[in-house]
Amino acid sequence: MTTGYPLLRSLQISFYNWSVVPTQVSKFIGLDNYIRALGDEQFWTGMVNAAVYLVLTVPATVVIGLFFATLLHARMPARALFRVLFYIPVVTSWVVVSLLFKYLFTTNDGAVNWFLTDFLHFTSESIPWLEQRWTALIAISALGVWKSVGWCLVVFLAALSGVREELYEAAALDGANAWQRFLHVTVPGIRGTLLFVLVLQVIGAFNVFPSVLLMTNGGPAGSTEVPLTYMYKQAFSFLDFGYGSAMSFILAIFIFVISFLQFRFFGEKKEVGS
């Protein structure tokens, strides 16, 4: 009820040239807001940026999370401590970590530039990370991966403990090496969880918001704007509620279709949720 009502209301608002002043009558303009969004170059720049963010973050997060989960699944010293350390970025507020990464990606003498130039000797010049489109997206993506690896790790750890030990032993007896055991026992064993993590990560990528707002605020010149930062500005800086609603609806439909397709392609058995 708390989500259903606003959702319908959102649909209604998106058909109007909504007036913020209560005494003025809002004008019904049908699909005009939707047509406007689909022809708005800035909106599409945002969608492309979100897609780039998705490509840079989702595979990396899932692979790194699964990698460390597999390693941590075995008994080792300080295992609980490691789990806590990996998870701390997840519980830290977006505001704090976004500002922290803004600081780390500072152009002159920032920690990341120090690491790449003086430590790894990867390049000799400082990279102006947040001052140009693609490098800024890389910086924002680095934050995205760093912040959600711990979540993937914990979810995968829980799933791994559900895979039966005998299956590994049987595979080992059949002469399967570690990689083959991983592919043929682990992956099928946590298939449902993999799908769940993938779908949530993709949804999360299209909803990237506070990190962009705080690290670049969409700049320079709107080049790192993502759908939600643009929507938010239209709605709350320019008070164009109708247009903002229409954009969030397009985004919601888009996310819904993508999630549906992922379930269609990757999920034979529906075992998400309980």
Partner 1 sequence: MRANPAWAVVRFIVVAVGAVFMIAPFLIMISTSLEPNTSILPSPPHFFPQEFTLDNYVRAITENNFGGYFLNSLFVSVATTVATVAISAMTAFAFARFDFRFKNVVFSLLLAGLMIPGIVIIVPQFILAKNLGMVDSLWGLVFFYTAGQIAFTTFLLRAFFERVPHELDEAMTVDGAGIVRKFVGLYVPLARPALATAAVFSFLGGWDEYVWALTVITDPLKRTLPLGIAAFQGAHTTAWGLVFAASVVAVLPVVIVYVAGQKHFIAGIAAGAVK
Q: Residues 111 to 170: which contact partner 1 by CB under 8 A?
A: 111, 114, 118-119, 146, 149-151, 154-155, 158-159, 162, 168
Contact 117, 123 (CB under 8 A): yes
Q: Output the smallest distance, CB 188 to partner 1, in A.
A: 14
CB hemisphere CA count around 53 (13 angstroms): 29
Out of 37, 54, 136, 197, point to the residue binding partner 1 (CB under 8 A): 197
With contacts defined by CB under 8 A, name the span among 41-49, 53-61, 130-138, 242-250 that binds partner 1.
242-250
Residue tagged 């809002």 (tokens): 26
Nearer to partner 1, 52 or 247 (CB): 247
Q: DSSP 3-state assignment of 28?
A: strand
User: Minimal CA–CA distance to 64: which of 86, 92, 93, 49?
Assistant: 86
CA distance 227 to 246: 12
**Choice between 112 and 137, CB closer to partner 1:** 112
For partner 1, the closer CB: 58 or 214: 214
User: Measuring CA to CA, which residue among 50, 48, 15 is closest to residue 32?
Assistant: 15
d(CA 262, CA 245): 26
> What backbone torsions phi and psi does residue 84 show, to the nearest 5 degrees?
-65, -45
Of 207, 223, 258, 267, the residue at the interface with partner 1 (CB under 8 A) is 207
Distance, in Å, from the CA atom of 86 to the CA atom of 25, rounded to the nearest integer, reads 52
Q: Using CA atoms, how far apart are residues 195 and 193, in angstroms rounded to an integer?
A: 5
Closest distance of CB 112 from partner 1, Å = 9
Q: Does the protein bind partner 1 through residue 43 (CB under 8 A)? A: no
Determine if 188 is a binding residue for partner 1 (CB under 8 A). Answer: no
- Site map (CB under 8 A) of partner 1, residues 213-232, x = contact: -x-------------x---x
263 binds partner 1 (CB under 8 A): no
Q: Which two tokens stand for residue 60?
A: 């990396």
- Pairing type for strands 16-17 and 27-28 reads antiparallel
C-alpha–C-alpha distance, residues 72 and 182, integer Å: 14
Q: Which of 193, 201, 216, 224 binds partner 1 (CB under 8 A)?
A: 193
Q: Does 110 bind partner 1 (CB under 8 A)?
A: yes
- Phi and psi of 27, rounded to 5°? -100, 130
Binding to partner 1 by residue 37, rule CB under 8 A? no
Among the listed residues 49, 61, 224, 245, the single contact to partner 1 using CB under 8 A: 245
Nearer to partner 1, 136 or 190 (CB): 190
47 is a contact residue toward partner 1 (CB under 8 A): no
Pattern 67-106, binding to partner 1, x per CB under 8 A? -x--xx-x-xx----xxxxxxxx-xxxxxxx-xxx-xx-x
